């Protein structure tokens, strides 16, 4: 209890420290997280900061560690469910504030906050192929490196040269791609809690019209098959070995299954959507129901792909 009280006192006194690092214009208090997630769900973050340089990110996290203040790195909020009561620590947004993209020959160097769509279109503008798969993924480069994002046969590990990150000690390091241990929706970065600051990508020269046409094909597939018209956090469950989560959920009779404002999409059963006024509690109950029913029917464990924030006791 004393430890908990100390943390609350510390965080209430933490504002001047954050202001000194990022400035008053880059700091918000009690910021509603439903404004910053594609689910459009989530209570307030005690502090919400938008650093403008890797060094500011490093200093903010160093201060949090020193004062034992919890922190969370936010990209585009496209794979995140925030609790209804919010988050009692510091949310550090790495988005357009750290979203520079530079192209040199067949290589791209981009900061972690660059959107994948932005980076893919920069590649297209320079007749570079290899990023078409990422053009429709609604996340940032940092999040994509962390979880080895992929779609339609492409994955980040296929194009990564290296990642610049803050290690567990808060030191900036450069990690070659062959040391990142990238697997299905995982990486060394995720396992060790590293913070991605930027990455280098290796692409190849191609035909601009063919690249554009491929991006259009994949865009149309997404529109046809995914419930992009509804707020969601993308694919809710990881793909079980040997099958697809969406098919298991559909075969379990859960198409359109609803808890409050949360619903299994009728268009694609692998997506849980905010059908209107959904709370985080609704989503969690629905995910739990889907997990239980699929396991009872097929003996398959569905593991959430969505990340959860603010649910700790």
Active site residue 5: no
Of the residues 19, 106, 281, 305, which is catalytic? 305
Which listed residue (46, 185, 187, 232) is catalytic? 185
Q: Is 62 one of the catalytic residues?
A: no
Tell me the backbone φ, ψ of residue 262, rounded to 5 degrees: -95, 140
Among 117, 187, 235, 265, which one carries the catalytic annotation?
Answer: 235
67 is catalytic: no
Encoded tokens for 299: 């003996």
Which are the catalytic amino acids?
Answer: 185, 235, 305
């Amino acid at each position: 209890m004393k430890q908990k009280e100390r943390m609350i006192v510390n965080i209430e006194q933490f504002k001047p420290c954050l202001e000194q690092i990022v400035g008053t214009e880059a700091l918000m208090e009690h910021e509603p997280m439903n404004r910053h997630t594609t689910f459009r769900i989530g209570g307030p973050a005690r502090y919400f900061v938008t650093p403008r340089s890797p060094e500011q990110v490093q200093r903010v996290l160093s201060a949090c560690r020193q004062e034992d203040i919890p922190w969370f790195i936010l990209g585009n909020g496209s794979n995140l469910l925030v609790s209804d009561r919010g988050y009692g620590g510091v949310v550090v947004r790495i988005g357009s504030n750290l979203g520079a993209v530079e192209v040199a020959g067949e290589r791209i160097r981009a900061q972690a906050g660059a959107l994948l769509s932005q980076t893919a279109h920069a590649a297209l503008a320079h007749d570079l192929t290899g990023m078409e798969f990422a053009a429709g993924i609604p996340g940032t480069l940092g999040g994509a490196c962390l979880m080895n994002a992929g779609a339609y046969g492409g994955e980040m590990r296929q194009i990564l040269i290296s990642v610049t990150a803050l290690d567990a000690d808060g030191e900036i390091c450069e990690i070659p791609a062959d040391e990142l241990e990238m697997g299905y929706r995982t990486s060394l970065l995720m396992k060790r809690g590293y913070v991605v600051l930027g990455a280098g990508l290796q692409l190849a020269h191609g035909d601009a019209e063919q690249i554009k046409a491929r991006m259009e094909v994949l865009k149309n597939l997404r529109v046809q098959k995914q419930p992009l018209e509804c707020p969601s956090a993308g694919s809710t469950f990881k793909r079980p070995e040997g099958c697809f989560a969406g098919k298991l959920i559909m075969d379990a009779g859960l198409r359109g299954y609803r808890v409050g404002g949360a619903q299994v999409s009728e268009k694609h059963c692998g997506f849980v959507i905010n059908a209107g006024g959904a709370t985080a509690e609704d989503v969690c109950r629905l995910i739990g129901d889907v997990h239980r029913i699929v396991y009872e029917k097929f003996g398959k464990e569905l593991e959430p792909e969505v990340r959860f924030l603010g649910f700790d006791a």
